[in-house]
Amino acid sequence: MHTPNNPQYPQQGASFQAVQEDEIDLKALLFNYLKYWPILGICMFAGILIAFLVNRYSTPVYKVESSVIVVDDKPTLGADLFEAGGLLQGKSNVENEIGILKSYTLAEETLSELNLNVLYFSDGFINQQQMYGNVPVLIEVDWRHPQLVGGMFRIEVLDNEKFSLSIEDDGFQVYNPADPFYKSKLTQDPFIKSIQYFGEEIKGDNYKIKVQNISALAGEKLLFQLKDSPSLALQYKNNISINPINKQASILTLGLETPVRRLGEDYLNKLMEMYLARELKEKNRAAENTILFIEEQLSGITDSLTYFENRLERYRSENRIFNLSQEGSQIFERLQELEKEKSQSEISLKYYQTLQTYLSNDQLDDLVAPSIIGVTDPLLNALVINLSELQAERIRLTANFSEQTPAVREVRSKIQNTKKALQENVNSAIRNTNNMLFELNNRIRTIEREINTLPETERRLLGIQRQFTINENIYIYLLQKRAEAEITRASNMPKNSILDNARALQNPIAPKKTLNLLIGLILGLILPIGVITVRDFLNTKIEDPKELENQLKVPLIGVIGRSTGDDGIPVLNNPRSSVTEAFRSLRADLSYLAVNKQKTCILFTSSISGEGKTFISINMASVFSLMGKKTVLVGLDLRKPKIAEDFRMINDKGMSTCLSTDMPWQSVVKPSGYENLDVILSGPIPPNPAELLLQDKFAVIMDEIKEAYDIVILDCPPVGLVSETKELFNYADVSFYVFRQDYSQKGNIQILNNLVEKGGVKKVYGILNDVHIDTGYGYGYGYGYGYGYGGNSYGYHDDVHVPWWKRALKRK
């Protein structure tokens, strides 16, 4: 018996009770779920079955891997000076190469070499397998024309010449080559199913393709899908993974997940090939710019050299003079050295001026390395090389990110700083070169004065030969530099290299079969438990006797099961039933609740109508009558009387008759038809039931009834609906408050608690009626009979066999 926290009722040790209740709650929670074991089992089986089907019919995905070696750049001469000054910031070569390998531009160049814009699929029963390489038909696409991309086409081969073309999946977008990065939605159906011929052009407003038969046979079916290059490049760019093998290493591992192993291997191999080709192109760009610069200078020198060569030959022939005198030769040699030095300085000045022009016009892609021209300034050489690399990095980043991205802004800031330093260095070099030329011109003019002392014929010959020699030296110098640049271009090799070619792993990485089965099992367990938990949380009706017992401030004295038939008096008509045993047990408990009382008045009430207080009142009166106790059942529910129906009586007179007239109560007593049991019905429904029960005459009648009978059972109206019941508690020796499983609201518990705490009602106990739902733990009273109660207004009906799945899905 539950002991409430009330001075009327004795208490056990608080700590022991708390521990015991915690343990019972944990067990009750466990058993509450275990009672749904068939549903849990079915859900877990369904989860495993779904996971098995996913494993069975999912397209396997393979991991393809390759690796490259990244060689760190050696610092150029003078670069360490700038890094120490903070002008040239250090960079991570590995991170840069990762960025290049993951760039959109490199992915697009790779795809243009592989021609992967058409995807072919075999027509499977459940899923579609992608085909690659040996395909039965070839789709030729004119990408200069708008095309339908994204959706799926179906081809069914009719014979060697014809095929049927239709739409399989209508998820198309329109790719326009005039605006390749933005696709528009398709507003109309592309075309209906049609018969086409192999090799003939299929053209519409948004498509232009040809289908060539390679090895397709009649009746063969396949699907194909068109992918535009920008979308495809973006897809591969996002799917590829590039990581160093560890933080200290400069070896990069490239990974790609794909359902077609050979396709992944071809893509990674081609990607590495294009990566090395790009690096070589970047290296050759400086040599190509140098060759172009030299050839521009040679085009002017060649004409001057030819002119002075012809003029020298004519002068020698006309004046019959071929060699200079000893004095003239000495002067010419001195002058030739100065002119050679002057010509090299002029070439350097032209380079500086060209470099200055490029910087002013932001032609950073056309920069020529000064070391190739012959300028040996290490400072200038380091600045030009660093600026070229920064420009290449900016181009790579802007191909994938916007101008406002922090990485792009950082590179742009570095370019501005390096460009400013280079401009200052070039301006200084131009000033120094002009000073050198000024000094050389002064020395040349000094020698020219010595030339004036020579004979006129020799003097003129020396002047012509001098011009010829100057152009010849420049021409030879430029030819030498061009040859060096060409040799440099021919000998260039990528500094990075392929370590491992692409290779697919033997086993697929997806689907993860064991993990999927485990997830299916867990979800099959968690989902129904979650549903049960939410349902129980949202349930506002009383189901669990233990929960009722814990929340009541009074003892829960009894649990009555559900009756098996339509009979409302199982105690009299079915004395061997388990429900009858429950009432006998309740009768036995009353000997402890009303000690040393030869005559007892027992009251039954509830919160609302329909909770079974009349059913319990009738059967409690019956169970006492079977003991030989002279018992009377008094119907005090003057608003909604029910007792007459169960005893098949006419409610023509009763307590309302006595209270409203002078008729004595003995005149309204009716025999029940059973020994030792009389019934006083409530009588006709009066207009003022509360006032009738509250008059002094009712108290007199009750005293007389108690004297006349051993047991008085009061069937009172619901205390939660009417007010007079609170006064009726005073007439009872023991009061019972009836709750009904899966019918009474949990809020009704507080009504009884308030009666005890605030209303001062004493000697009141709880009864749970119509117990038919197994809460999985037991009730602690031994009444878990599983019989039925319900039906009419109080709900009586036959006990029928309810399948377990209905009991689990529940209710009523």
185 alpha-carbon distance from chain centroid = 26
The set of residues, in sequence order, having a beta carbon less than 8 Å from that of 381 and lying 6+ positions away, is: 76, 77, 78, 369, 370, 371, 375
Q: What is the pLDDT of residue 128?
A: 85
Which residue, 256, 273, 290, sits at the end of a domain? Answer: 273
Indicate if the pLDDT at residue 82 is higher than 70: no
Average pLDDT over residues 519-541: 90
- Whether 566 shows a pLDDT value over 80: the answer reads no
Q: Which pLDDT band holds residue 61 (cuts at 50, 70, 90)?
A: very high
Structure confidence by residue, pLDDT tens digits, 223-263 = 999 999 999 999 999 999 999 998 888 899 999 999 999 99
99 in any annotated domain: no
Instruction: Name the residue with higher pLDDT: 796 or 765.
Output: 765
Note the pTM of the prediction, 2 decimals: 0.60
pLDDT of residue 369: 59
User: Are residues 568 and 770 in contact, defined by beta-carbon separation less than 8 angstroms?
Assistant: no
Give the domain-ending residue among 273, 297, 313: 273
Q: How far apart are CA 260 and CA 257, in angstroms?
A: 9
Q: Which amino acid is at 251?
A: I
Whether the per-residue pLDDT at 345 is higher than 50: the answer is: yes
**Do residues 393 and 446 both lie within one domain?**
yes
Distances (CA, A) of 118 to 112, 274, 443: 12, 21, 73
Q: At residue 172, does pLDDT exceed 70? A: yes
Residue 783: pLDDT over 50? no
Shared domain check, 648 and 558:
yes
**Is the same domain home to 265 and 353?**
no
CATH number at 802 reads 3.40.50.300
> Can you give the pLDDT at residue 301?
77
pLDDT band at 709 (very low <50, low <70, confident <90, very high): very high
Tokens of 325: 């005198």
51: in domain: yes
Between 528 and 451, residue with greater pLDDT: 528
E strand segments, 171-248: 173-175, 184-185, 194-197, 201-204, 207-213, 221-226, 241-244
**Averaged pLDDT, 469-475:** 76
Question: What is the Rg, in whole angstroms, of the alpha carbon atoms belonging to the chain?
Answer: 53
pLDDT of 319 higher than 50 = yes
254 within 8 A of 101, measured Cβ to Cβ: yes
- What residues form DSSP beta bridges with 155? 165, 222
Q: Which residues, in sequence order, are CB contacts of 801 under 8 Å at separation 6+?
A: none
**Confidence (pLDDT) at 191:** 64
Rounded mean pLDDT, 381-391: 78
Q: Is the dihedral of CA 31, 36, 38, 44 positive or negative?
A: negative
pLDDT of 745 over the 80 cut: yes
* Coil vs helix vs strand at 136: coil
**pLDDT number for residue 668:** 93
pLDDT at 375: 66
Model pLDDT, residue 572: 87
Q: What is the pLDDT of residue 382?
A: 79
Q: Where in 609-728 does DSSP place strands (E)? A: 631-635, 669-671, 677-680, 711-715
Helices (H), 552-577: 570-573
- Residue keyed to tokens 């608080």: 14
**At residue 629, does pLDDT exceed 50?**
yes
Residues of the domain holding 50: 14-61+511-538
* Tokens 């990974």 belong to residue: 255
Q: Which residues contact 688 (CB under 8 A, 6 or more apart)?
A: none
Q: Are both 459 and 575 inside the same structural domain?
A: no
Mutual angle of helices 104-114 and 261-319, in 10-degree steps: 100
The residues pairing with 251 across neighbouring beta strands, listed in sequence order, are 69
Asked if 675 and 625 count as a contact pair (C-beta separation under 8 A), the reply is yes
Q: Is residue 94 part of a domain?
A: no
pLDDT value at residue 766: 95
Contacts of 704 (CB under 8 A, 6+ apart): 665
What is the pLDDT, as a whole number, of residue 475?
A: 80
Cα distances (angstroms) measured from residue 346 to each of 341, 360, 377, 471: 9, 21, 16, 12
pLDDT at 627: 92
- Please tell me the least confidently modeled range out of 98-102, 724-728, 799-803: 799-803
If pLDDT is split at 50, 70 and 90, which confidence band does 79 have? very low
- Of 52-66, 85-99, 121-135, highest mean pLDDT: 52-66
Give the pairing type, strands 631-635 and 711-715.
Answer: parallel
Q: CA torsion, points 654, 659, 664, 668, in degrees to nearest 10? A: 0
User: Based on the structure, what is the number of domains in the chain?
Assistant: 4
Q: Of 593, 594, 610, which Cα lies nearest the Cα of 555?
A: 593
Q: Is residue 280 part of a domain?
A: no
Is residue 316 very low, low, confident or very high in pLDDT (cuts 50, 70, 90)?
low
Q: What are the CA-CA distances from residue 274 to residues 95, 98, 112, 399, 649 (Å)?
A: 18, 14, 11, 16, 103
SS3 content of the chain, % helix, strand, coil (to 5): 50, 15, 35
Least confident range from 71-75, 478-482, 532-536, 603-607: namely 71-75
Residue 587 reports pLDDT greater than 50: yes
The predicted pLDDT at position 792 comes to 34
455 versus 484: the higher-pLDDT residue is: 484
Residue 331, class by beta-carbon neighbours within 10 Å (0-12 exposed, 13-18 middle, 19+ buried)?
Answer: buried
Looking at the structure, tell me whether residues 582 and 519 fall in a common domain: no
In this prediction, residue 506 carries a pLDDT of: 86
379 pLDDT higher than 50: yes
Residue 526 has pLDDT above 90, yes or no: yes
- pLDDT per residue over 184-199, tens digit each? 888 776 666 789 999 9
Looking at residue 565, its pLDDT comes to: 67
Q: Are residues 440 and 527 in the same domain?
A: no
pLDDT, position 7: 44
Whether 136 maps to a domain, the answer reads yes
Task: Give Cβ neighbours of residue 483 (< 8 Å, ≥ 6 apart).
Answer: none
Cα-to-chain-centroid distance, residue 327:
93
Q: Are residues 258 and 381 in the same domain?
A: no
Q: Band of the pLDDT at 365, cuts 50, 70, 90?
A: low
pLDDT exceeds cutoff 80 at 448: no
With cut-offs at 50, 70 and 90, classify the pLDDT of residue 501: very high
Q: Spell out the residues 6+ positions from residue 242 whose beta carbon is closer than 8 angstroms to its own.
A: 98, 101, 102, 252, 253, 254, 255
Same domain, 521 and 622: no
Per the prediction, the chain carries an average pLDDT of: 81
pLDDT of 348 reads 80
DSSP symbol at 548: H
674 lies in the same domain as 746? yes
The listed range with the strongest mean pLDDT (56-65, 301-310, 364-373, 686-695) is 56-65
The span from the first CA to the last CA of the chain, in angstroms, equals 28
Per-residue pLDDT, 786: 34
Pick the last residue of a domain from 244, 273, 302: 273
How high is the pLDDT of residue 224? 94
68 in the same domain as 51 = no
Specify the pLDDT at position 127: 79
Same structural domain, 120 and 45: no
| CB neighbours of residue 668 within 10 Å | 19
pLDDT of residue 3 exceeding 60, the answer is no
Angstrom distance (rounded) from CA 640 to CA 643: 10
Stretch 647-656: mean pLDDT: 90
Beta carbons within 10 angstroms of residue 171's beta carbon: 12
Give the tokens for residue 212. Answer: 């060539």
% of the chain with per-residue pLDDT over 90 = 37
Q: What are phi and psi of 126, to 5 degrees?
A: -115, -55
> When comparing pLDDT for 163 and 801, which is higher?
163
In a domain, residue 173? The reply is yes
Contact of 236 with 117, CB cutoff 8 Å:
no
Dig out the tokens for 670 from the structure.
Answer: 């009716």
The answer to whether residue 769 is domain-embedded is: yes
User: Does residue 380 lie within any of the structural domains?
Assistant: yes
Distances (CA, A) of 798 to 341, 563, 643: 125, 7, 20
Examine the domain organization and report whether 635 and 606 are in the same domain.
Answer: yes
